[in-house]
Amino acid sequence: MTTSRPNILVVEDEPIVRNLIVDVLTRQGWLVFEADTATEAHIVCSALKDEQIDLVIVADEPSPPTSRELAARIIAGCPKAKILRLSAMPALELSSGFLQKPFTTGQLMNAVESLLNPRMQ
């Protein structure tokens, strides 16, 4: 069963960054789940059963797997979710699904809104 508000999963291994993202998104009224690894994220997706994750925010790791590889693993458990990748490295291609660290809360909100409500942009 899908709720009227988006469900967001934040996968970030840095607790300070993860807590900031979760706080900002929760204040917007979104239901936010969190995980610090792809394995934990997969467990969260599996546990939600009928609830759909609308957006997965996944941080790049300094070593493999990359955020793209993590996103592919997570999508196995949350197949309809959109992905927002976070990385300190610049994107190789321009994409609405990418946000370079460090970012402001405004940039985070813009990126999330553009993925959740693409017609409103």
Per-residue DSSP letter, 80:
T
Number of domains in the chain: 1
Do the domain assignments include residue 2? no
Task: With a cut of 70, say whether residue 111 has pLDDT above it.
Answer: yes
User: pLDDT value at position 44?
Assistant: 85
The answer to which of 14-18, 29-33, 91-95, 108-112 has the lowest mean pLDDT is 91-95
Do the domain assignments include residue 97? yes
Q: How many CA within 13 A on the CB side of residue 118?
A: 7
Q: What is the value of pTM for the model shown?
A: 0.83
What's the chain's length in residues? 121
Q: What is the pLDDT of residues 21-68, one digit of tens each?
A: 999 999 999 999 999 887 788 788 878 766 788 999 988 765 566 666
Tell me which residue range forms the domain holding 42.
7-115
Do the domain assignments include residue 47? yes
Do the domain assignments include residue 75? yes
Residue 96 maps to which CATH number? 3.40.50.2300
Do the domain assignments include residue 30? yes
Do the domain assignments include residue 20? yes
Do the domain assignments include residue 120? no
Nearest to 12 by CA among 101, 91, 104, 118: 101
Q: Which carries the bigger pLDDT value, residue 34 or residue 121?
A: 34
Do the domain assignments include residue 16? yes
Q: How far apart are CA 93 and CA 22, in angstroms?
A: 27
